[in-house]
Every structure is written in C-alpha cells, then in structure tokens.
Chains A and B, each alone.
Chain A
Amino acid sequence: MMLKYIGNRILQIAILLVIYVAIVFFMLHAMPGGIKTLLISNPKLTPQAQEAIIRAFGLNQPLWLQFVDYMKNVFTLNLGISFSYYPTPVWNIIAERLPRTVLLFTVATLIAFFVGFASGKSLAWNRGKTTEYVSTVVGIITYTIFTPLLIFVMIWFFGSFLGIFPLNQFLNPDLWIHTRLNAQIVFLYILMTMVIIGAVMMVSYLMALRFSHKESTKKMIFYVSTAISIVFALFLWVVSPIGIYGADILWHMVLPVMTVTIISYAGNMLVMRDSMLETIKEDFITTARAKGLPDKVVRDKHAARTAMLPVVTNFVLSLGFVVSGGVITESLFSWPGMGMTLLDSTLAKDYPLAAGALIFTGIFVLIAHLVVDIVYAFLDPRIRY
C-alpha cells in the first residue's frame, strides 16, 4: 500500500520533471536568436568549438528533433560547456555546487522545522501570556521582512558588530593556501558525516518503535544512539588532519544557514501555533486529558503530533519562497551553490550554465517535494493511497 503510494508519487514527480525540463527548453527557445545563438554566442568560443557544439546538440535540426535531443542530453547530464568557466562542462560545475545547496537547505530547513515546531507548540500551550504576544509579533516581522534586508542586518550584526562569523564565502583562503587539500573533498566528507548521522538517527528511531512499547525506553534508544554517533563522528574529525579545514567550512556555513533558517522558521512557527491552538480544542484532546494522561503527554503525544501535519503541508507550499530566499542568501553571502550559480550565470549570459542551474534547482525542489510527501504519508494515516 505504502509502496504503491510512494511509487505513484515518484511517477508523478518524474512526469512533472519532464514537463519542467520541456518548459525550460521552450523558454530558452523563446529567447532572441533561439537556443543556437544562446549556446554559441560567446566570444571565447572558436569557430571550431561552435561547430562542435552545434553538432553535439543537433542545433541545425528541426525543433522537435532538437527537443528530443535536448531531453536526451539533460537526462544523460550532457548540459554543454559553460562560457564563463570555459571549457568546463556545465555538469561538472553543477556536480560541485549542488551538494552545497543541498546541505545549506537541508540543515536550515530541519532546524527551522524543529525550532518552529517546538516554539509554536509551547506558544499555543501557554497561550495568553506576554511571551506569546511578543514572539508572535516577532515571528510576523521576520516572516514578512524583505530577505536582502534581513541578510544585511545579519551580516552587520554577526559579521561586523559582533565580529564572530565570517562575512561571506565558502572558506578562508588564508588557511587553505597552505594545503593541497581539495575543498570539495573535505566538503563531501562533511556531507557524508551528516548523512551517516541522519541515517543512524532514523534507523535507531525505527528500531526503538519496533522493539519497545515504553515511551521512555524508545526515547533512550533514540537519544543514546544519536549521541554516540555524533560523539564518534566528532572524535574522528578532531583527530583527522582535515578536521580544521572541515571546521573552517562549517564556520563559513553558520551565517547562511542561520539566514535561511530564519527565512523559513517564522512560517513554521506561526502555522504550528495556529494549528496547535485549533487542535487543543478537539475532542480527542479532552479524551486524552480524561484518560488521566500527564499534561506533557497530552501536549506532545496528542496535540503536537496531530497539529504538526499542517506545518508539513505548509512547508511544501512555501518551498518556492524558501528557494528564492536561498538564491538571494547564497548570492549575498557568496556561498557558491546553485542559487548563486543561477544568478551569476544569468548575469554573465552564460546560458548553458544558467539552463543547467535552472534545471537542477527544479529537480532539487521536486525531490524535496517528493520527500515531504512521503514523510507526510507516514505521519498521517488518513492519507489515501
């Protein structure tokens, strides 16, 4: 049942993806001069190189054949050569930058989700207090604030005023000049560490569900295995020679992550608060209280668990908003991910790279959508398969 549902969703997302790529293709065609001009209109390209591109992309063929070729090229990751990084293939650039964006977004989104969830929950539970009023107002302000303004405030406050975080960029060149390490490799190690820790958390959670029916034992299994894996990972990083470089990258991540977190936090918090306020009026909450369950159990296990569903839905709806915020954030922090690539390549008229960045940002968003849909299906048993 569940597998069938997931299969269906994957199919739907795949169809959406093809449609999306097609839209990008026709958009490029609608540009003055069409794709052909776009792909070769670069002074850096020699006539031979232009010939080669025309042949490789079949740019002299009829439109529908071009479309088929284009689709084939996209799905074989043959995205052309970047003008601005000539002669690096677009795919190589994207393969390097996509993980950075994925990391930035995933970390920020998870933090924003859990902090928004927890604060929205306790605000609703302790309703009517001044703290609720103040936090709601602050939430609405950060929710409606113009993203660049937020970023400048962040940069000024943490970078200049407090001076505790680097202002921009991916790493500190002064540090890396002394090493022959490849920053990308170090970065991938960081990513791998996080994925492994995430996997350990998930597996231990599922194990806990399976092997125990006592709330406290479940929690213990989960927290202990999470703590062990984190401590172990930290230990490995500290003793390894690349530890300091990893730390440098992480250090540079703090501000961008914080910014994207703030951008999506307020929405989560406000939706959670509203949803929680509605949920605690439900009859099943009265039932839970009548059963003599402790207040905390009523709040967390019954109210918050059910109130969380709209927050997940809201996340899907606000995905576009978070991505556009991400483009601005990456650019202003010079965080070399997909967002910055998208903006820079467009400004530099580097069309192959821009198209590639557009396509892969889209793929990323669609996959995020898929993941959230699947998570939702696990959270809400009422979902129809």
Chain B
Amino acid sequence: MRPILELRNLKMYYDTQAGQVKAADDVSFVLNEGESIGLVGESGCGKTSVSMSIMRLLPENARIISGNIFFDGRDVVKLSNDEMNKIRWAGIAMIFQAAMNSLNPVYRVGDQIIEAITAHEPNVTFEEARQRVASLYKLVGLDPERMDNYPHEYSGGMKQRAIIAMSLACNPKLIIADEPTTALDVIVQDTILRELEKIQRKLNMSMIYISHDIAVIAEVASRIAIMYAGKIVEMSDSVAIFKRPAHPYTVGLMSSFPSIRGEKKELVTIPGEPPNLLNAPDHCRFVPRCPFATDECWKAVPSYTEIESNHFVACFHPQNLKKRVSINA
C-alpha cells in the first residue's frame, strides 16, 4: 500500500499575546491509500489545527515551525498558495465541523458544488457538472431536485449530506472530516457516519475522521490516533485501542463513553482541567490529571514505545499490558 499522507514531526504554533500556543507539537503519522484514521481527543487538543495545517488554511497568527506534510509525495508545507489551491478539494477535500454554516446562504447548494467542480476541471461543461452533482446527491441520499434550493431550505442533516456530496465532487484522494456530525442529533449522526464509511470504502478514498467521541470513531476508522495537548499520545488499529487502551488518557476517554450508542456526552468524567497549550511543560502533559502518575512522569516527556506490533504509546506506565502479554504468548 502506498502512503497518501505522511506527517513528519509537524510543529504548528499560534502566536498570541500571552505566548506560543503549541497546538501541534511533533505530530507524526502515516495514512495509506484507501485507509482511514481517526483523530480523537478532547476539545482544544489540536485536532482542527492539524487538519487546517494539512489544508494550509491557517489563520494569520499560525506558523508551521518545522516538520513536513507529504501529500501524494509532495511536501505541502513548501507549496505556494496558488499551488496549494490546486491540491485543495481536487486532492484533499474537507467536511467541516460546522455543517450549518459551511454553505454560503446566498447561493443555491448545487451551484456551490458546481463551483468546486469547474474551478478544478475547467473543461467540464455546466450540464456535465450538474449531472455529476445529481449523481452525488443520489449517492449521499439526497433528492437531486433539491440542488436548486438554497441552504436555508435544507435541514441540518440534509446540509451535512450536501457537504459530503460537495467533498466528493472532485474525486479527492483524501477527505478530512472534522467532527462531521457533532451538530446533528444522535440518530442522524450515526446513519451519516455509516454512509460516509461506505462511500469511503466504495471509492477507495483515504479518510481522516476527527472527533472527541472515541466510540463513534472506532466504528468507522481502521486506525486511531489519540491526541492530547497537541501531541499524539497513542496510536494503533481501532480494535487494539478499543480493547486494550494503553495510555491512561485513552482509558479515561473510554470510560467517559460507557455505551457505544449512548447519548452524546461531554468529557466530564476525566477529572481535572483540560490542558493549557501555552508554555507547554517539559514533562508528560497529562500528569496533573493522571491517576497513574509517578515522580518519573514529572521529570521528562515520555517517548513512544511500541507495546505490541503497530501499537505506539507515549507513557511511562502503559495500562492493560498483562492482558496483552497473555494474548501475545
């Protein structure tokens, strides 16, 4: 399998008056063609910052300090904005967190999708583009007749489906879905995610799912990376993470979502404050909230260990190891 996206030690900081916010600190992962990865963590841990770095859609006060983002073999960190515009949507499309406001209220929904098509494929005629939109609408379960409606005439779920259709418009190799369903109610959320997964498999696209809800992600993504305070603290395939969470933070995330199909819950069950990314300390960032912390944890930043094949964790005291040993034995 060929890697489609590779992040290598990405550091992206925001400059603020209070100091540097280290929103992405040494983030590395590889995503292969046709594969999907879930990026999971509490709100504010840097998930959106990572995805916006990949799209190079960062606000003015953001800086990519170091690291590389290889997409399809090219380092997008080094590309000019014009070159980047060719990759945006045609190579990497996005499904945004705020589906409600992601469509321009003054244009017809279909026209907004057609706009993306004609921007990247100038030879496509208007009629051809309309036909493509119609078939995309069918694919995501929308009535093609609705493409001439305005966004305010759509329900929340329909808007999200339209945005999914839009993300598929230029046949991208990679789609980043940043909390694609948080704004929707649980049932719609579930169906849409499942359909998204089906489409992803059918079209053999790569996918980054972003969510604070590990249970939701475990169902649709083949691999999961857990983010905490700008760092990936654990990464493995979904089953391993779900069955044998090793990082205490992951364990906390799991117990804060007791049932897979339960109500959407905020992460209130991990005690302590979510981290402040300002002036990141030079010790494990989870230590103030960690029930397993020892003196060691206050002295250094833990590096990654591979506790089982392709299961990485950055912690001095990984959990659930016993079970694993017996499995490996």
Residues of A within 8 A of B (CB): 213, 282-284, 286-295, 297, 302, 305-306, 309, 379-382
Contact = CB atoms under 8 A, between A and B. Distances in A.
Nearest to A309: B106
A286 B86 contact: no
Contact of A292 (B114, B120, B150): B120
B81 to A, nearest CB: 8
Nearest to B129: A213
Contact of B57 (A286, A306, A382): A286
20 contacts: A283-B102, A284-B105, A287-B102, A289-B88, A290-B93, A291-B88, A291-B119, A292-B84, A292-B85, A292-B86, A293-B85, A293-B119, A302-B104, A306-B104, A306-B105, A306-B106, A309-B106, A380-B105, A381-B105, A382-B105
B90 A286 contact: no
Contact of B150 (A284, A302, A381): A381
B180 to A, nearest CB: 13
A381 B152 contact: yes
Nearest to B55: A290
Contacts of B292: none
A295 to B, nearest CB: 8
Contacts of A213: 114, 118, 126
Most buried by B among A283, A289, A291: A291
B129 to A, nearest CB: 8
A306 B102 CA distance: 13
Interface string B274-317: 00000000000000000000000000000000000000000000
B104 A382 contact: no
Contacts of A294: 85, 119
B320 interface: no
B43 interface: no
Contacts of A290: 55, 57, 88-89, 93-94, 96
Contacts of B102: 283-284, 286-287
A380 B57 CA distance: 28
Nearest to B127: A213
B165 interface: no
B149 to A, nearest CB: 9
Interface in B67-95: 81, 84-90, 93-94
A300 to B, nearest CB: 12
A290 B120 CA distance: 12
B116 interface: yes
A289 B90 CA distance: 13
Contacts of B101: 282-284
Contacts of B126: 213
A282 B98 CA distance: 10
A263 B323 CA distance: 78
Q: Classify the interface of chain A: helix, strand, loop or mixed.
A: helix
Interface string B116-154: 101110000010000000000000000000000010100
B245 to A, nearest CB: 33
A297 B106 CA distance: 15
Interface residues of B, number: 29
A380 B84 CA distance: 32
A291 B96 CA distance: 12
B115 interface: yes
B89 A292 contact: yes
B96 A382 contact: no
Given A283-B96, A287-B104, 5 more contacts: A283-B102, A287-B96, A290-B94, A293-B119, A379-B106
A286 to B, nearest CB: 6
Contacts of B192: none
Contacts of B104: 284, 287-288, 302, 306
A284 B107 CA distance: 11
B64 to A, nearest CB: 17
A381 B106 contact: yes
Nearest to A286: B57
A255 to B, nearest CB: 37
Nearest to A212: B126
Contacts of B114: 213
A283 B88 contact: no
A293 B119 CA distance: 7
Contacts of A309: 106
Contacts of A287: 94, 96, 102-104
Interface string B24-66: 0000000000000000000000000000000101000000000
In the A-B complex, the 8 residue pairs with the smallest Cβ-Cβ separation, listed nearest first, are A292-B88, A213-B126, A283-B101, A292-B85, A284-B104, A381-B150, A283-B98, A291-B116
A221 to B, nearest CB: 16
B98 to A, nearest CB: 4
B115 A293 contact: yes
A289 B106 contact: no
Nearest to A279: B104
Contacts of B98: 283
Most buried by B among A290, A295, A379, A380: A290
Nearest to B99: A283
Given A283-B101, A284-B105, A292 B152 contact: no
A87 B197 CA distance: 85
Contacts of B116: 291-293
B105 A292 contact: no
A355 B1 CA distance: 85
Contacts of B118: 213
B219 to A, nearest CB: 26
A239 B285 CA distance: 83
Contacts of B94: 287, 290
A309 B90 CA distance: 31
Nearest to B149: A381
Contact of B87 (A284, A292, A381): A292
A381 B106 CA distance: 6
